[in-house]
Amino acid sequence: MSAREKPEAEPETILTPAEIATLDSIDAARPTPRILRRTLASYLLQIAMLGGYLARKHDPPPGNMVVWRGLTRLNDIAFGISIGTRRQCG
């Protein structure tokens, strides 16, 4: 809802630094990056796309269920990245 009310807001107002870094790393792996401006609306679109939103020209804005699925998938990806970057003991 915050992205709909203030789409030009900073993403740090809603997302954690780990979530932003994860979305940036996912976007950097694509041949054509989708996050051109660092706004809350662009990050919300990326989260919705993780939840299955296709972002076609005539699609309505993403709904709560799609954003929720995208957030759970984003948290899973961020957790996997944090496990992969830990140093091994012993």
CB 66 within 8 A of CB 44: no
- Considering the domain boundaries, does residue 35 fall inside one? yes
- Considering the domain boundaries, does residue 90 fall inside one? no
Question: What is the total count of domains within the chain?
Answer: 1
- Read off the pLDDT of residues 71-80 as tens digits, 9 standing for 90 and up: 999 999 999 9
Torsion sign over Cα 50, 55, 61, 63: negative
pLDDT of residue 83: 87
Q: Which residue has the tokens 């996997």?
A: 80
Q: Any idea what the CATH number is for the domain that residue 33 is in?
A: 1.10.740.10
Which value, in Å, is the radius of gyration of the alpha carbons in the chain?
Answer: 14
Choice among 9-13, 22-26, 34-38, 74-78 with the minimum mean pLDDT:
34-38
Using alpha carbons, select from 76, 87, 90, 89 the residue that is nearest to residue 18: 76
Residue 51 tokens, joined: 């939840």
pLDDT of residue 89: 63
For the residues 23-46, what does the mean pLDDT come to?
A: 82
pTM of the predicted model, to two decimals?
A: 0.83
pLDDT of residue 50: 94
Instruction: State how far the Cα of 54 lies from the Cα of 34, in Å rounded to an integer.
Output: 13
- Read off the pLDDT of residues 37-67 as tens digits, 9 standing for 90 and up: 888 888 999 999 999 999 899 999 999 999 9
